[in-house]
Amino acid sequence: MEETSKWYVVHTYSGYENKVKANIEKIIENRGMHDLFDQVVVPVQDTIEMKNNVKKAVQRKIYPGYVLLKMVMTDDTWYVVRNTRGVTSFVGPASKPVPLTDEEIITMGIEVPDFELDLDLGELVRVITGPFEGSTGNVKEINHQKKTVSITLSVFGRETQVEVDYHVLQRM
């Protein structure tokens, strides 16, 4: 039975996220473990900061102190990651790290499932996650490029058009 790779989270010393990522990638390269590791990620977000009245584009770590790994969990991969300089622990019980669930992966924006949207304009849909969870509305517009759908919801008794990602909708 072939193991599939899953997302795991490791805790690092503060400020060591990029060093940990580089160290793990170097070990993967040196030991030829490419088949066991898919991705090593330090999630960042582009933001604008004001410093001395000057706007500057900067990258902020979304989860400071954490590195995300998509890997096949084996004794070897656990050992490599756990003994990488700067790693304090896996998130989860020490003996058995717990992979992220599909819902956590989507919510954190790590991966968005790739699927075709089979909705029609005017169709009634329910929002299954996010700030509008549980709301129902009609499809007004579908943007295949951005993978979003504009729907009208009743917000505080008023019809309001909102744009949501494909993956948060369910047919009624």
Tens digits of residue pLDDT in 34-50: 999 999 999 888 788 88
Q: What is the pLDDT of residue 111?
A: 73
- Please state at what angle helix 17-31 crosses helix 75-82, rounded to 10 degrees: 140
Tell me which residue of 29, 49, 53 sits closest to 40, measured CA to CA: 29
Q: What is the pLDDT of residue 167?
A: 75
Tokens of 137: 């509305």
Question: In whole angstroms, what is the distance from residue 126 CA to residue 132 CA?
Answer: 9
CA angle 166, 167, 168 (to 5 degrees): 95
Q: What is the pLDDT of residue 114?
A: 59
Contacts of 135 (CB under 8 A, 6+ apart): 126, 127, 153, 154
Question: In whole angstroms, what is the distance from residue 22 CA to residue 86 CA?
Answer: 11
Tens digits of residue pLDDT in 116-151: 667 888 899 988 877 888 889 999 988 877 778 899
Tokens of 62: 């979304």
In this predicted model, which residue has the larger pLDDT, 127 or 96?
Answer: 127
Question: In whole angstroms, what is the distance from residue 141 CA to residue 138 CA?
Answer: 9
Quickly state the pLDDT bin for 112 (edges 50, 70, 90): low
Contacts of 74 (CB under 8 A, 6+ apart): 3, 36
Q: What is the pLDDT of residue 1?
A: 39
Structure letter (DSSP) for residue 4: P
Q: Can you tell me whether residue 27 is helix, strand or coil?
A: helix
Quickly state the pLDDT bin for 8 (edges 50, 70, 90): very high
